[in-house]
Structure 1
């Protein structure tokens, strides 16, 4: 009787335990919208629900989720009572594909090592057996010379063969052991990477009747991003400029995106959407900030803005250029706040934080090509392309590869956030245009006039067009600008330049025919007290 009661209560306990354990359903990732920082993931799941209240777990979710963004659609006869999110560290399928690949390779190499060890042991046993059986003939039987030579040759050859085999097998074993060591270290590194860990959403539901339901789940995850980059192609200055608009997509959601419908948005879901409010502006006395510091920050910002551009004189900022639209299977949708690129081809993107290139669009537009040079800073000529109405292209700041005349010439940077109506794109250096700027020694010197000294500087700039077609070149130089009443600056010879007296910039718009050379000479003087020095005068 006691045994029957024990079995009954054991069965009853198991029944209630299984009834109270939440059922696990895997979800299928259908589509992803990637933002500049973050992504919206959309899943589908088929679940079976009993009548009444139940708890289920939806697996195969991203490893990081903004819980406030979780949205789940259910049939009308089902009510969601609560939702929560947790990471799933226990399930074996959470091993990343990279981890599984290395783990499988490690098992294979270990098997190969075992085979080598078995072969070596057999060879070593044969060698021991051979060494123990070296007696020739009986105690009462002599051995003739021919038989002795024959046996000796056999032992010699066999021992040599066995020892060589053992040596080779030990070498192969060492190689396999090195492979095993490398793979084990790689597995250790991969085990520290939790990008392979997935998440799960726990739901408490109430169904009026038992039902099979299709759930649509969406949420935001911070574990993905994309940045723009470009290819700029120009056959020459008479052909339209081609722009290939691309995206580098990275993700570490723990889910490998396989055959998903991918969209890229220029929006930022994490950005605060609340409109700003003005409050009272109260003035108060205080020490002014150092003018030197302000100038230093301004200079640093200007240097940063010039990092990817052609050289500029101090008062100006370099830009870049282009335009028009065609392109692969991408649909662009616009609203008042952002633009979205819908990629029609399903994409596979692994959860490994590595960039995956996606082509968004191709543009083709007649651009105004011209060359630009500041020989005082850099002796090369830079090809610039100009386009207008670029705000309609929804370009984002990004690095650009430059291909000119079918050759890769370097990198540039597209900055569509400029306030001008023309976008200037630096297309790289053109070595076929030679520019030399030299000081004319015989027209450069110092004169002393009373208590003052006057320094005169003369420079000659020679420009040669080595190309087969005519070019337009914007050439710039400068003369110094006085910041002190004791300094007198005079532009003696502008060389026919357009002069900006406030900044001291000299500009020439040159049109050079093939093989043509243009020579320009400028001269200026600076007069100041002879007991003083100007450090940056040249």
Structure 2
């Protein structure tokens, strides 16, 4: 039974004076949310258990409690209160690091002040030498001056060192303070869950709950070895969360499910048809100028939710659309701080044989690119960004999508040893057909590709051909040499030349298109 109620004063005092003994052991991260599981050891004879310092944004309806067979669980009570009311019970590692740096800065300031007092003492000797106090005997002037100079140099040098150390510590402290302020603005309140139970022999109590905000995104690394013609695909994940509680050494599972999405699609509504009633004319009344409408103020809850959404890590979750969820269990224990910092995890790798091709689209870009065609790897590989490496060198990034992998392959950057040239397109307009009854446009294109590699390559040249969209528009195309396909990837009008090109060889590709349309019509062209 789940009760959303306030705790009694005695219970509240107990919560405030004891540190939370529970710890996070398992987390399942979805795109935009997470299920967190905490455990708490129960002493023999325990009658209640308190899970303190939980995120304020947890979903109370998602709370689930389980325990050992010897523990009987009663009702749950949930309460939210300000974090500062719990004292050190909710102190985070971030607070401890801040206090440690502040203590070091205070110690340096105290040492600097002590050196200042010492410098003042040395100054009194200088004033004494100037006749303002007891004069130094002539026989001791040399030794005194040397000692003063040495002491002053050491004091000033140490003071300079202290200043540099203090500046370094303040640089380390500044981002921690900013993070604490950010977290404090979002999570000034924390949740406390009290469980009524009976544990005569003690045992373990487990609490799980849903919290919004955490997310993960797939990421990949593709490394091409052109000598062996193999591609090594490494599957990665970027995980981040800013819930207000750190995940230290937890068992992490990544899921493509979306528990926050709708559980059922919309149902059809009756489709009613009728006759629109005639519009009755109404006299226009004299109207005074309308006052400017003021925007309705946002509620505190809406403002807090908006601020939290803006500060949460942003991930593109559209890549997880699918019929079924897939889970990735990380074998090692993972720590994810509650600072929004992205943690990269490796989810395994796959070695695939590939067919290398050089592809160019001269009409758009007179550059040749190296393409690796590989079969889609087994299993579920959600689409995501990919970092590309060729023979150990980083060449850029792209997008990994198994739906397009078999059709377009993976591009591994420019091939500088393949020269591509495009001649100036020729275009002539005139008339044709019977006694010049139709307009005619003739477009000619010529491309030249040269292989400067020491070995032969497999060349792909892509070009666009006109596709008629009207029955009165006719297109005739002639190619040299004949292309392998005029519907590359099932796209009408996409022409593909594919052929081997030996080392040092040059190949010319030409296309001529004749477009005719009625003389009294205007031709519309669009890419």
TM-score scaled to structure 2, two decimals? 0.72
Does 2:365 correspond to 1:375? no
Alignment of 1:285-364 (within 5 A): 337-364=324-351
Cα gap change, 1:347 to 1:532, in 2 (>3 Å): same
Does 2:36 correspond to 1:41? yes
Cα gap change, 1:464 to 1:114, in 2 (>3 Å): same
Q: CA deviation at 1:439?
A: 1.4
Q: Deviations over 1:239-290 (max 9, x none)?
A: 333211111111223333232222222212222223553444557999xxxx
Cα gap change, 1:197 to 1:45, in 2 (>3 Å): farther
Does 2:381 correspond to 1:395? yes
* Match of residue 332 from structure 1: none
* Match of residue 318 from structure 2: none
Q: CA RMSD in A?
A: 4.4
Which of 116, 124, 137 aligns to 1:128? It is: 124
CA distance in 2, matches of 1:282, 1:426: 53
Higher mean displacement: 363-372 or 162-171 = 162-171
Does 2:194 correspond to 1:194? no
Cα gap change, 1:93 to 1:374, in 2 (>3 Å): farther
Contiguous gaps of at least 5 residues in structure 2 = 1-7, 277-321
CA distance in 2, matches of 1:389, 1:416: 6
Cα gap change, 1:467 to 1:452, in 2 (>3 Å): same
Which of 489, 509, 523 aligns to 1:520? It is: 509
Q: Determine if contact 2:246/2:336 at 8 Å carries over to the other structure.
A: yes
Q: CA deviation at 1:469?
A: 3.6
Q: CA deviation at 1:180?
A: 6.2
Which of 196, 202, 205 aligns to 1:205? It is: 196
Q: Determine if contact 2:80/2:189 at 8 Å carries over to the other structure.
A: no
CA distance in 1, matches of 2:9, 2:477: 95
Which of 264, 274, 287 aligns to 2:264? It is: 274
CA distance in 2, matches of 1:183, 1:58: 32
* Match of residue 411 from structure 1: 397
Report which of the two structures shows the higher radius of gyration computed on alpha carbons: 1
Q: Determine if contact 1:57/1:200 at 8 Å carries over to the other structure.
A: no
* Match of residue 221 from structure 1: 211
Q: Determine if contact 1:117/1:173 at 8 Å carries over to the other structure.
A: no
SS at match of 2:262: coil
Q: CA deviation at 1:495?
A: 4.4
Q: CA deviation at 1:227?
A: 0.9
CA distance in 2, matches of 1:166, 1:534: 88
CA distance in 2, matches of 1:357, 1:284: 59
* Match of residue 80 from structure 1: 74
SS at match of 2:333: strand
Cα gap change, 1:275 to 1:363, in 2 (>3 Å): same
* Match of residue 416 from structure 2: 431
SS at match of 2:117: helix
* Match of residue 280 from structure 2: none
Cα gap change, 1:435 to 1:112, in 2 (>3 Å): same
Q: CA deviation at 1:383?
A: 3.0
